[in-house]
Structure 1
Amino acid sequence: MNYIRHLNGFFQHLEQDERMTAYHISLYLSCFQLWNLNRFKNPFSISRTEMMRLSRIGSVNTYARCIKQLHDWGYVEYSPAANLHSGSIISCIRFDICVETTSDTASDTLLPNTTNKSKESKSGIFKKETKKKLNGKNRLHASIDKDYSEPL
């Protein structure tokens, strides 16, 4: 599981999905954080109280509506708890668009899918470059073209 590729894939889906509100995004990112803390093992248990606190959602009705819509729209697989004192079960859908390799070196060894959009066809939101560049680097001297295909 590549954390950065997954988030990039999520934001690509988000760019095309106009149904998503700030509540949905906040709730999904809270789910993603808990998934990360569970070392990306699906499914995992969540608590409504904890999810509402993490996502800063104050209404139980808003939480229930948003988690159901995230499930219906294919962002998560959600199974509500039958008992109020037990946690609900959730699985996050992977958005890091990759194909598996045939080598058995590691279960998460992935190669990028070259049939996807190229880096040049990024969102119109990010096309306008407002930061001053110095020899291919931004003013913080960080390289712009980074390769995230290497495992950490």
Structure 2
Amino acid sequence: MNYIRHLNGFFQRLEQDERMTAYHISLYLSCFQLWNLNRFKNPISICRFEMMRLSRIGSVNTYARCMKQLSQWGYLEYSPSANLHSGSMLSCIRFDISVETTGDTASDTLLINNTNNKKESKQDESKKRQGKTAKTRLNVSTDKDYSEPL
């Protein structure tokens, strides 16, 4: 499951679907977040209160209507629970699967966070400065020719 491809697929589908409102989008993204936290396992158990809180929906009727419509429109599979103590079941439909095949391997490349490079380089510079002062205090010559015999 590719997180970015899935979201791109969702937003491409969203552009063409004029039925979707802000409630639907917010609720779907909340479902997607819970699906992500459950490591994209299908189905997952959801709690109505938690979903309403995450999606900022205040009305139970709006929540129920939007979940039912998202299920009917093919964005997810929703099975409401008749029991108040057991959660409803939710399965998200994958949108990261495309028909096109490309030779692009860059999308599968792991990106590394380089946010601490400046801090590391400043630390390295200070260590170098400290090392130079230690060498000058010990009168060590750094311009030796190691190709000469001893």
1:68 matched to 2:73: no
Aligned Cα RMSD in Å?
Answer: 1.9
Q: Percent identity?
A: 83
Report deviation, 1:151: 5.6
- Give the equivalent residue in structure 2 for 1:29: 29
CA distance, structure 1, for counterparts of residue 110 and residue 92 of structure 2: 21
Q: Does the CA contact (< 8 Å) of 1:2 and 1:151 recur in 2?
A: no
CA displacement at 1:8 relative to structure 2 = 0.2
User: 2:107 corresponds to which residue?
Assistant: 148
After superposition, the C-alpha distances for 1:48-105 in whole angstroms (9 at most, x for unaligned) are 0000000000000000000000000000000001201110000000000246xxxxxx
AA of the residue aligned to 1:67: M
Q: Would you tell me which structure has more helix in proportion to its own residues?
A: 2
The whole-number CA distance in structure 2 between the counterparts of 1:97 and 1:149 is 14
| Structure of greater Rg | 2
Count, aligned residues = 109
The correspondence of residues 3-152 of structure 1 with structure 2, limited to 5 A, is 3-98=3-98, 113-114=100-101, 147-150=106-109
- Give secondary structure in 1 for the equivalent of 2:107: coil
Large movers: runs of 4+ above 3 Å: 149-152
TM-score by length of 1: 0.67
Q: Normalized against structure 2, the TM-score is what?
A: 0.68
| CA spacing shift, 1:21–1:150, aligned 2, 3 Å | same
